[in-house]
Amino acid sequence: MTQPAIKINAVHKKFGALHALKGIDLTIEQGEFFALLGPNGAGKSTLINLLAGLIKPSAGNLSVLGYDVNADYQQARKLLGVVPQELVFDPFFNVREMLRFQAGYFGHGRENDAWVDEILEGLGLTDKAHTNMRRLSGGMKRRALIAQALAHKPPVIVLDEPTAGVDVELRQMLWGFIKQLNREGHTIILTTHYLEEAETLCKRIAMMKHGEIVALDTTANLLHQFAGKNLTLQLESPQLPASLVSMVKTSEDDTFTFAIAEPQEVERVLSELRLANIAVKDIQLSEADLEDVFLSLVGTTSNQNNGQEGV
């Protein structure tokens, strides 16, 4: 039987009085490109640190390709590559040395050099291979951090906010390389604040809030179920009929965007406008994006939260 890449079973984590994770159950299959989303403090990094063995669960268990991250930690860690969120580095060594060391800790020697070269090239670090880590720019340090997590060629790769504070060029290059790794069979688990990245890259998404998973589905299903469509109208008058105000998501001058859950709501908006004698200058109907789903599920306003807990 094929083992799932990641299996998380009834995991709780408490830090003193803080109940950071409240019974997480999650299975990620091999070869998936999976996103773990949620606002700051939702518990994403705690979950990743538990997977990496950096902290221990208060209850429950986690495994990587069938190996428990605590009982069989040596096997589990060999199969897992984790890119930490903080931009940390060892100031004593250059990029190539660090990658060789990192692979060495996992038992790899010179035979791994070809893979190290491949990572350097894939992440645009080849000409920085002999530069001391201290002398790299922020973006280059981020690349080196990612390279270190890949040095032992792990089948399961976890990237915790890999594109935080990096420029567009690096994001493109990074995702190109990570997509290639995914095509080659690596399982990718990603946390990010850039929701459009998760939407374009990931086939399946888990959304977390206050230490719980509040949504777990394919990206397409989440978009379909929770986001509906956006109707954007440019009107002759900037004054809306009172009956429509509650449907407005955003507005700017005379342009209003309405959240449309059902197609017949379009008709309702237009008829209310007709009754109020407000002419429509322009009309646009678009699919909502992951940001809408995110706001709907984990948004901070109370009406957005109502009825969404435990989805």
The footprint of another protein (CB under 8 A) covers 52-56, 73-75, 77-78, 80, 82, 84, 86, 88-93, 98, 101-102, 104-109, 148-149
Nearer to another protein, 148 or 257 (CB): 148
The minimum distance between CB 73 and another protein, in angstroms, equals 7
Nearer to another protein, 84 or 162 (CB): 84
Q: How many distinct helices (H) and strands (E) make up the chain? A: 11, 14
Three-state SS for 37?
strand
Residue showing tokens 């990612």: 146
**Distance between CA atoms of residues 70 and 119, nearest Å:** 29
Task: Give the ranges where the chain is alpha helix by DSSP (H).
Answer: 44-51, 73-78, 95-105, 113-122, 138-150, 168-183, 195-201, 219-222, 264-275, 290-298, 302-305
Residue showing tokens 């860690």: 77
CB crowding 176-201: b at 16 or more within 10 Å, else e: ebbeebbeeebbbbbbbeebebbbeb
Nearer to another protein, 89 or 294 (CB): 89
| Of the candidates 11, 124, 119, the residue with the CA atom closest to the CA atom of residue 70 | 11
The minimum distance between CB 158 and another protein, in angstroms, equals 10
Nearer to another protein, 148 or 296 (CB): 148
The minimum distance between CB 57 and another protein, in angstroms, equals 11
The minimum distance between CB 15 and another protein, in angstroms, equals 8
Report which DSSP code applies to 107: T
The minimum distance between CB 24 and another protein, in angstroms, equals 18
Nearer to another protein, 142 or 209 (CB): 142
